[in-house]
Amino acid sequence: GVHRQVLFTTVGWFVGYYLTKRTEYIHAKLDRELFEYIRQHPGDFKATEKKRIGELLEDFYPVR
C-alpha cells in the first residue's frame, strides 16, 4: 500500500544521500592527495603559458 511506497521512498532517499556523501568524500580525499603530491613535486608540473582561445581553435571555413 501507500505505507510501503513512503517507506521505500524514504529508504531510497537516505541510501542515495549517504552514497552521494561517500562519493564526495572519496573524490575530496583523492583531490587532497593529488594536490599534495603536486605541491611536493613542482618540477614535474610546470605551468605552461596561457593561450588565447583563437590560438587553440582552427580557422572556420563554412561549407556550402
Q: What is the pTM (predicted TM-score) of this model?
A: 0.62
Query: Nearest-CA neighbor of 26 among 14, 37, 18, 36?
Result: 18
Residue 61 forms part of a structural domain = no
Q: Name the DSSP class of 45.
A: S
> 47: phi > 0 → left, psi -120 to 50 → alpha, else beta; which?
beta
Q: Is residue 3 part of a domain?
A: yes
Domain ranges, residue 3: 1-40
Q: What's residue 54's pLDDT?
A: 86
Count of domains for the chain: 1
- Domain assignment present for residue 49? The answer is no
Q: Which grid coordinates belong to 46?
A: 610546470
- Segments of the chain scoring below 70 in pLDDT: none
State the pLDDT at residue 30. 98
Q: How would you classify residue 60: left for phi > 0, otherwise alpha for psi between -120 and 50, otherwise beta? A: beta
With cell 582552427, the residue in question is 58
pLDDT computed for residue 28 by the predictor = 98
